[in-house]
Amino acid sequence: MSAPGPGFLPQALWDGALVAAASLRAARPDPGFAEGDGVFETVRVAGGRPVWLADHAARLARALAGPGGQTGVGDPGYSVIGLAGRCAAVIAANGLGEGSLKIIVGREAGGWHECILARPARYGLERQAAGFRLRSAACGTRSAARDGRKTLYRPHHDNARAAAVAAGFDEALWVGPDDRVLEGAVTNVFIVRDDRVVTPPLAAGILPGVARARVMRLAGATERDLALGELREAPEVFVTNALLGIMPVEQVNGTTFNLMENRVTRALMAALADRGAIADCGPQL
């Protein structure tokens, strides 16, 4: 398992035992790990508790086992039982009130391991007021079975986002053949048109985001293919993920949006904040 990057808090959990995050040494990955034989979840922490943990745990288990154990990335025997307690141990060890956890299940030296790392909060109300700027990036045809999981092997996402940031943007926006919008490097994307909320379909090979599912239920959103031109013409665009919740979009490439007029987005942000404040960490985990 690679050593944690910058910004993580001092205490981590490795296979259920508290360790110093700095002690996690980089290891030469075996072929399975290098090809994405492992997955991760990033979970928001609010008020010292993990938010939507049951949703994250369910996606983690699905990604590893897959339907009938046929399409998972490696360890169909992984169990989320006790995950809430393990997350609580990391939160307590770091005195974390607001921030996030990164839960990693990956293979090293032929064995499977779980690592849980903690990070302080990275986004605040000021960031939401400013909104995100998206820069489109071309990609080929997606496979729903492969791309619908948060695998450890994701250099294409990391590189696209880094290129967008270097160009003065906040996030990369994947655009497939025929100018179809798919998702962001670390977000799902929505538009508001005629007061209706629309997002690309999961069948396009996008990530089934935890926040995406919550927002879809809250907004009564519909799925359909979206052309890049529709984003430029829409009165409101926003992106979602578990840490951001809902982030208004201020710019897509050269097109800017007036965030003072995104009435539907702001209403959804308020509604999600009210409901999202309830942390899901029941005993079944």
Instruction: Give the DSSP per-residue string, 156-171.
Output: HHHHHHHHHHHTT-SE
Q: Is residue 284 part of a domain?
A: no
Global pTM reads 0.88
Per-residue model confidence (pLDDT) at position 32: 46
Task: Tell me which residue has tokens 């097109």.
Answer: 255
Sign of the torsion formed by the C-alpha atoms of 218, 56, 47 and 187: negative
Of the candidates 184, 211, 185, 188, the residue with the CA atom closest to the CA atom of residue 198: 188
Mark whether 105 and 179 lie in a shared domain.
Answer: no
134, 253 contact by CB (below 8 A): yes
Q: How far apart are CA 114 and CA 85, in angstroms?
A: 14
Q: Tell me, yes or no, whether 73 lies in a domain.
A: yes
Identify whether 115 is part of a domain.
Answer: yes
pLDDT lower than 50: segments of the chain: 26-34, 68-70, 278-279, 281-283
Query: How far apart (Å, rounded) are the C-alpha atoms in residues 56 and 207?
Result: 12
Pick the last residue of a domain from 67, 94, 120: 120
Shared domain check, 142 and 48: no
CB distance 235 to 191 below 8 Å = no
Instruction: From 63, 32, 47, 24, select the one nearest 210 (Cα to Cα).
Output: 63
Give the SS3 label for residue 273.
helix
Query: What is the count of structural domains for the chain?
Result: 2
Of 94, 120, 146, the residue that ends a domain is 120
Residue 64 is part of a domain; what is its CATH number? Answer: 3.30.470.10
Instruction: Give me the domain span that covers residue 167.
Output: 125-276
Q: Is residue 145 domain-shared with residue 271, that is, in the same domain?
A: yes
Do residues 43 and 242 make contact, with C-beta atoms less than 8 angstroms apart?
A: yes
Residues 184, 261 within the same domain: yes
pLDDT of amino acid 24? 78
